[in-house]
């Protein structure tokens, strides 16, 4: 059985596992919130570590913290960022809505580990590691830092790689003409490369929207302390701490000019997650298009072939399903659900503080993670292996009654509709129907009827 040691906080003594770097407040939260299996995302843990290092440097530069304490805090923060102490952050997402206990978890781990390194009690979790801060401004700052870092490090590269894969596929299929479809019905011709360019455009537009949504996320609450007044923080701390975070991450973080807004509102993350939802919607559309075009292989559209990654049925031998597309669409639904939860949570800012922040952080970061992962998986295991069935496309194109549209300038809309209806009813070609109705001679029909030129 794990040994225990006694830690103390303002409420008294608490037994803590001997090997744990956390202290009394973390232990109380761990015991008081045995809810679910969702723990605070590591992205938040790492953002808090970056924040503590930035705050320590800012405090030291302003004479609010001894240089040796600042250096010790920064050293432990680097250990945390290396993944060395991931197991020291066990708290549930479903805790206090301010994230106070996760902030204290970080404060206690840094203080205790720093004291181990120093060989004595040098750091205090509140007086030193939390100097010039409150959980009320550190947690929303960590949310913004984690969100921005996740988008730039994981999501944007995944989108860019998928865009590049579609661009390759587009070039590969230049000049291949197929039937377009609207309302799930046959429409006029389109080049397959044009159809692919639409998919690429969906991703490029979503990327632009996500990047644009980052402007509000770059504004940080740090320096607001408890209610936005900056109580107990030295003048200039907010600007210096934001500058330190910008330098550490390479992202343009700045202090929020209105700290009262920064504490109580979560609209920047609502707005940004809206862009994530737009990406999810676009990925849903692309994945649906791909699985429709690949449907069959004999009794569906069958105009493209996608990789056969695994058996699709436990009873039907040889069946292969569009599983990567299905994963993308499930992720899209999850992100849309996250957007609803995040919006509801952001609406609950009462007076000087929103107390749904762990939920908001969890939902936003889960969406980024899922979108990045599914974009990579979809690219590697589906899009990279898409092959156009050009013969099937040609056959379907020339069987389409909507090719009659090219006759409009020569015989008019009503006559063209009569041709299409006759061809459909009698299961004949448009050419035969048009000639039988006397609208065009065979020679003239052949002169004007050129499906490949309709794109």
Which sequence positions are flagged as catalytic?
Answer: 183, 313
Token code pair at residue 357: 């922040």
28 vs 26: CA distance, rounded Å: 5
* Torsion sign, CA atoms 290, 296, 297, 298: negative
The CB-based long-range contact list for 442-445 (8 Å cut-off, 24+ gap) reads 444/410
Peptide bond into 88 cis (omega under 30): no
Contact 78, 88 (CB under 8 A): no
Torsions phi, psi for 296 (to 5 deg): 140, -125
Tokens of 104: 């204290």
CA distance 281 to 452: 32
Q: What is the dihedral of CA 92, 277, 256, 130, to 10 degrees?
A: 10
Cα 391 from chain centroid?
38
CA distance 453 to 455: 6
Give the contacts of 423 (CB within 8 A, at least 6 positions apart).
Answer: 401, 404, 429, 430, 432, 433
CB count within 10 Å of CB 109 equals 28
Contact 267, 168 (CB under 8 A): no
Instruction: List all residues 6 or more positions away from 247 whose beta carbon is below 8 Å from its beta carbon.
Output: none
What would the two tokens of residue 345 be?
């949570």
Whether 24 and 9 have beta carbons less than 8 Å apart is answered as yes
Any bridge partners for residue 220, and if so which?
A: 255
């Amino acid at each position: 059985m794990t040994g225990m040691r006694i830690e103390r906080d303002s409420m008294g003594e608490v037994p803590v596992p001997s090997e744990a770097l956390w202290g009394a407040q973390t232990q109380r939260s761990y015991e008081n919130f045995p809810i679910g299996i969702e723990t605070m995302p590591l992205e938040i843990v790492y953002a808090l570590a970056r924040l503590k290092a930035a705050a320590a440097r800012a405090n030291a530069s302003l004479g609010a913290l001894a240089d040796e304490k600042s250096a010790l805090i920064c050293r432990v923060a680097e250990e945390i960022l290396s993944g060395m102490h991931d197991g020291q952050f066990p708290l549930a997402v479903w805790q206090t809505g301010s994230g106070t206990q996760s902030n204290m978890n970080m404060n206690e781990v840094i203080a205790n580990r720093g004291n181990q390194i120093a060989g004595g009690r040098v750091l205090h979790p509140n007086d030193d590691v939390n100097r010039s801060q409150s959980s009320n401004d550190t947690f929303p700052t960590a949310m913004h830092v984690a969100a921005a870092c996740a988008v730039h490090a994981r999501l944007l590269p995944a989108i860019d790689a998928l865009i590049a894969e579609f661009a390759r596929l587009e070039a590969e299929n230049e000049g291949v003409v197929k039937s377009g479809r609207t309302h799930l019905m046959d429409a006029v011709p389109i080049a397959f490369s044009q159809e692919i360019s639409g998919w690429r455009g969906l991703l490029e537009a979503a990327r632009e929207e996500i990047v644009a949504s980052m402007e509000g996320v770059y504004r940080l609450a740090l320096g607001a302390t408890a209610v936005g007044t900056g109580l107990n923080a030295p003048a200039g701390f907010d600007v210096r701490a934001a500058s330190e975070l910008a330098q550490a991450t390479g992202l343009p973080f700045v202090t929020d000019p209105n700290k009262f807004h920064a504490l109580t509102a979560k609209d920047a993350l609502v707005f940004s997650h809206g862009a994530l939802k737009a990406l999810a919607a676009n990925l849903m559309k692309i994945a649906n298009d791909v699985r429709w075009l690949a449907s069959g292989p004999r009794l569906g559209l069958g105009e493209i072939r996608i990789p056969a990654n695994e058996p699709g049925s436990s009873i039907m031998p040889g069946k292969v399903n569009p599983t990567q597309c299905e994963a993308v669409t499930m992720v899209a639904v999850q992100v849309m659900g996250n957007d609803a939860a995040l919006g509801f949570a952001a609406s609950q800012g009462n007076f000087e503080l929103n107390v749904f922040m762990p939920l908001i952080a969890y939902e936003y970061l889960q969406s980024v993670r899922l979108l990045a992962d599914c974009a990579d998986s979809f690219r590697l295991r589906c899009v990279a292996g898409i092959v156009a069935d050009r013969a099937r496309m040609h056959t379907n194109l020339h069987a389409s009654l909507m090719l009659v549209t090219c006759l409009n300038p020569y015989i008019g809309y009503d006559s063209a509709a009569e041709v299409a209806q006759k061809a459909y009813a009698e299961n004949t070609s448009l050419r035969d129907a048009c000639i039988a109705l006397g609208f065009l001679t065979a020679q003239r029909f052949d002169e004007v009827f050129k499906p490949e030129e309709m794109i």
